[in-house]
Structure 1
Amino acid sequence: MRVAQVLPAYFQDRVDFMGGGDRYVYFLSKALQPYCDVTFFTFGPRYREESFDGVHHVVLPTRRTANPDNPLPLSLAFASGRFDIVHCHQLRSVVTNLATVIRRATRRPLVVTDLGGGGRSASYRFQLYRLVPAFICISDFSCSLLPAAARSRAEVIKGGIDLARFPYHPGPRQRQVLQVSRLMPHKGMNYLIDAAGQDIAVVIAGKIVNAGYYRDLQEMARGKQVRFLIDVDDNAILAAYRQSAVTVAASVYRDMYGGHAPNSELLGLPLLESMSVGTPVICTNVGAMPEFVRNGETGFLVPPNDPAALRQRLTELLNDPSLRSTMGLAGHNHVRRYGWDVVAPQISAVYSRLLARA
């Protein structure tokens, strides 16, 4: 079975994943290799083929675009009939729109997974989603965001984490709190800084997407125990999980500037990574995150935009090593069901059923 995994993202010189959605597609491509002949497509300034950590990676040329998450392709190779299955990620993208029309015209199977990115496209304006034969959703929340007419063709397959990359670590740990995410207002890092005050150490690790927000966070962090790890590699992120007492995901629907992010957190991958390592988590009751965190067992849920509630749970965990240890082990055991060794065969089975009907 020949499968195209299509990530509608533009990378200038090399693949440089910005967030969990990008990583999801790459690691899915890697995990599917025992079941399928996979080609992983991204987009860039010129055509290139390479082996990317053992995955056949093809970069297709695009027109220059202001939005790297919605490239305008100069090649349609990603939708080619030589692929038994084309799996496009991001519903709202020109690439997915083109694949939808081409695969429909040639009566070839197409699968779409929406990871919350993309940009302006014809998906909703012309209701192209009606032509997509199958959707795979990474959470119940992400499924609920699909147009009503598409949900009957959707299957929820939760998770996707490389458990071997995030092995269990029993400790010891520092009295510090970690948040791993892109620096964007809807990630709510400002509420974590507020909650920590001057007595709780905070580490914020991620890539700068909104430079103005980063400057405001730096200003808020003055005089506090806040450290930023910007653009660090995966090994540094793993070390931060292993060293920290708690991992926080403080995402919000309404950010500090009044901006609205109704699609916030379709999965919450850092929570799964943290729990795999054995670090308990605290997350806001936003998006899909409550689907993956068992409140009071693997971590705590708190209301969004509520630094007082967040601080209360932080203090509870930081002051109780036994509770942290118990929750950490429970989280590690809990996330096994979301490993790629479980998820990839389920997705491959969806492909096989589609082919059988084609």
Structure 2
Amino acid sequence: MKVAKAKSNPLRIAHLTPAYFSPDSVVGGGERYVYYLAQALRTAGGFEQCVFTIGPDDGLFAQDGIPVRIFRNESQTHGAMNGFSSALWRELSGFDLVHVHQSLTLFGAYTLAIVKSLGIPAIGTDLGGGENTLMLNRRGMELLDGVISISQYAHRLISSYFSGRHEIVIGPVDTDRFAPDSRVTKSPRAVLCVSRIMPHKGIDRVIAALPSELSLTVIGRVYHDAYYDLLRTMSMGKDVRFVHDADDNDLLCHYRSSALFVQASTARDIYGTTVGKPELMGLTTLEAMSCGLPAVVSDTGSLPELVPDRRFGRVFSGHAELTSIFEDIVDGKWPTPGAAVLARSHVVQQHGMDAIGKRLSLFYRTVLNELKRSN
């Protein structure tokens, strides 16, 4: 007589984030990242997940089948990264592990204190939201049981503040959704930039180097009016178009119909302002490559890590190098034949949902097993 194996109960994972991806909160890569990470973990199986976040009022909705609980912000300090809610004291009870996103913020410090007081293991991730003194100089990060960094660059910024187990996980990307479509006609001269319109995103550098033979479409919301006015002035006489209201389907169409993706972020913007943490992970660059777009990126932050193969990715440091790359494109010298296939294959294998889900699952379980052995 065969005895059926008992199924182990799924691990309960709570993702904590001070903002969520929505026009009602914040439309940014850090906020989308939390959803993507939860989706990737779901592909690995064996987990129940919930996202807890902060907003002006209590709420509940589902994002791709994963529940998202919104708690009313009880903080008197302005800014999404400073929000918190005492409701987390009761809601987190029963979870096996908590992942604190934007962990270097006031939100991160507050929620980590709650998590540890409840005796729940905690993983932290910096998504660029802050540099809280309690978490860094006061060594609050050492309360974490593990750290997930979203790039080598992101890890270097915090490595001196945390001595425990860490993992570098670049991605994930939904490579099923962000995929080429042979029915879509590509424009061989179409350059695409997807970015919030802010000075440190370096869109001015793309426009300045753009030759007359190429067109540029910039997709992104305006977060700096004076900079946007400057970009429009620089665009006069060039084939440049701005799109501010593209939804996810529109964005996918642009990825599929363009010939090249450019991300030109800079650590020192056109106004001379120094940016502390530019591009911890260029998510839109990975999405574009997943759709078969060769990518040109600046040498800023994590961006060079995303294009390890010159056949489908180029890195520039200044105006002269970007101009030279555009000339190679116009002259047909780059990208190489098959670049689209190579770009997509790289993202699927290294940064896709399945690949990241397996790595994340292993990291979570390793941290939990080590804690069990030490207790």
Structure 2-normalised TM-score?
0.88
Match of 1:2 in 2: 12
Q: In structure 1, the residue corresponding to 2:335 is in which secondary structure?
A: helix
Q: Determine the C-alpha separation between the residues in 2 that align with 1:235 and 1:4.
A: 29
Residue 188 of structure 1: aligned partner: 202
**Cα deviation, residue 102, structure 1:** 2.4
2:365 to 343, 347, 352: 352
1:37-84: CA deviation from partner (whole Å, max 9, x where unpaired): 100122111111222331111001103543123323343258723211
CA distance in 2, matches of 1:343, 1:163: 12
1:35 correspondence with 2:49 = no
RMSD (CA atoms) = 2.2
Q: TM-score of the superposition, structure 1-length normalised?
A: 0.92
- Contact between 2:18 and 2:102, CA under 8 Å: does it hold in 1? yes
1:340 maps to 353
- Rg comparison, structure with higher value: 2
User: Which shifted more, 268-277 or 25-34?
Assistant: 25-34
**Contact kept in structure 2, 1:79 and 1:103, CA below 8 Å:** no
Q: Map 1:14-163 onto structure 2 (within 5 A).
A: 17-33=26-42, 34-63=45-74, 65-77=77-89, 80-118=92-130, 120=132, 122-163=134-175
Indicate if the aligned counterparts of 1:204 and 1:227 stay in contact, CA closer than 8 A: yes
Q: Deviations over 1:242-281 (max 9, x none)?
A: 1111100111111101111231111111111111111111
What amino acid does structure 1 have at the position aligned with 2:231?
L
Instruction: Supply the distance in 1 between the matched residues of 2:91 and 2:201 (Cα, whole angstroms).
Output: 34
Task: Give the structure 1 partner of residue 250 of structure 2.
Answer: 236
Q: Given residue 267 of structure 1, which amino acid in structure 2 is its aligned partner?
A: M
CA distance in 2, matches of 1:316, 1:56: 47
* Partners of 2:287 and 2:89 in 1: CA distance: 34
- Give aligned pairs, total: 355
Counterpart residue identity of residue 350, structure 1: F
Report how far residue 197 of structure 1 moved: 4.4
SS in 2 for 1:323: coil
* Runs of 5+ unmatched residues, structure 1: none
Higher alpha-carbon deviation: 246-255 or 317-326: 317-326
- State the shift of 1:158 in Å: 2.4
**1: CA distance between counterparts of 2:161 and 2:53?**
29
Q: Distance in 1 between matches of 2:319 and 2:115?
A: 48
Q: 1:156 to 1:105 in 2, by over 3 A?
A: same
Structure 1 equivalent of residue 265 of structure 2 = 251
Q: How far, CA to CA, are the matches of 1:322 and 1:56 in structure 2?
A: 45
Which moves more between the two structures, 66-75 or 50-59? 66-75
User: Cα–Cα, structure 1 residues 60 and 121, in superposed 2: closer, same or farther, change >3 Å?
Assistant: farther
- CA distance, structure 2, for counterparts of residue 133 and residue 161 of structure 1: 26
1:314 aligns with 2:326: yes
Letter in 1 for 2:360: I
State the Cα distance separating 1:190 from its structure 2 match.
0.2
Q: Show the counterpart of 1:204.
A: 218
State the Cα distance separating 1:24 from its structure 2 match.
Answer: 0.8
Q: Which runs of 4+ in 1 moved over 6 A?
A: none
Deviation at 1:182, TM superposition (A): 1.1
Q: Tell me if the contact between 2:16 and 2:53 (Cα under 8 Å) persists in the aligned partners.
A: yes
Q: Check whether the contact 1:49–1:57 (CA below 8 A) recurs between aligned residues.
A: yes
What is the letter of the counterpart of residue 59 of structure 1?
A: I
Letter in 2 for 1:226: V
Asked whether the 8 Å contact 2:14–2:99 carries over to 1, the reply is yes
Give yes or no for contact 2:196–2:223 (8 Å, CA) kept in 1. Answer: yes
- The answer for unaligned runs of 5 or more in structure 2 is 1-10
